[in-house]
Amino acid sequence: MHNFFRIGGVAADLPHGWIDKCLDFCDYFLTRVVEYQQLITRNPIFLERVEGVGIVCGEEVINWGLSGPMLRASGIQWDLRKVDNYECYGEFDWEVQWQKEGDSLARYLVRIGEMIESIKIIQQALEGIPGGPYENLETRYFDREKEPEWNDFEYRFISKKPSPTFELPKQELYVRIEAPKGELGIFLMGDQNGFPWRWKIRPPGFINLQILPQLVKRMKLADIMTILGSIDIITGDVDS
């Protein structure tokens, strides 16, 4: 995952057969999304628990600095992949998923839509891989089975490229990306050294969680878990 990326590229070529397994996963996952929608989206019990619960209007999400599905579920069509147009997202055909109701159901629908759009992006990226060698053929000798299932595939890399070291100039830099839960920002302050003088991470979950006390006012106790789940936090984000 995070250890695979390097400045200027990646740590190693793709394992042998990885692309075919990834395409198989995309087809598998799309069928599961349809199953999720049939099971959950029109379920009256589910709708009773999430519709109209934890409503946030467009003005509030901006004032609180919310991002990601929390922002787009309240009628704000803001996605950094479109706004900043970084990497190669501009080369793919995909749409920003948004809703206008601002409740827990709207946030669920945004995330369901984003799963489908993510598969579209992955499929287009795989089709657009340029010619030339891109697989590490050496890994063929490490396969334990002749035809392993995609979820049993072991990722093995040979001759990983080490992370480069370089001197950070004496300046400030802020870079942001559209992470699954919202805007993930990295602030660096260099001091002509190999290590930053200051390094600050802006986690989307920590910012999004701040509105929770307001959303649970005058709500039932059982609604707290619904609202908290719709914010979609992870512990590593909010324990700072």
Helix axes 104-127, 18-36, angle to 10 degrees: 160
Give the pLDDT of residue 12.
Answer: 78
- Where do we find the tokens 């057969």? 17
Maximum distance among all Cα pairs of the chain, rounded to whole angstroms: 62
Give the pLDDT of residue 1.
Answer: 64
CA-CA distance, 83 to 92, in Å (whole number)?
Answer: 14
pLDDT band at 153 (very low <50, low <70, confident <90, very high): very low
pTM: 0.84
Cβ-based burial of 149 (10 A; exposed 0-12, middle 13-18, buried ≥19): exposed
- Between the alpha carbon of residue 38 and those of residues 30, 46, 170, the distances in Å are 13, 12, 55
Q: What is the CA radius of gyration of the chain?
A: 21
End-to-end CA separation in angstroms for the chain = 22
Give the pLDDT of residue 5.
Answer: 81
Give the pLDDT of residue 138.
Answer: 56
Residue 49's contacts (CB-CB under 8 Å, 6 or more residues apart) are: 222, 223, 226
On the question of pLDDT at 160 being above 70, the answer is no
CA 179 to chain centroid: 4
Structure-token pair, residue 111: 């995330």
Domain ranges of the chain: 11-165+204-238
Between 77 and 135, the more confident residue is: 77
Assigned CATH class of 11-165+204-238: mainly alpha
pLDDT band at 17 (very low <50, low <70, confident <90, very high): confident
Q: Are 184 and 177 in contact (CB under 8 A)?
A: yes
Average pLDDT, the chain: 87
Neighbours of 239 (CB within 10 A): 10
Give the pLDDT of residue 237.
Answer: 83
Give tens-digit pLDDT for 95-129: 999 999 999 999 999 999 999 999 999 999 999 98
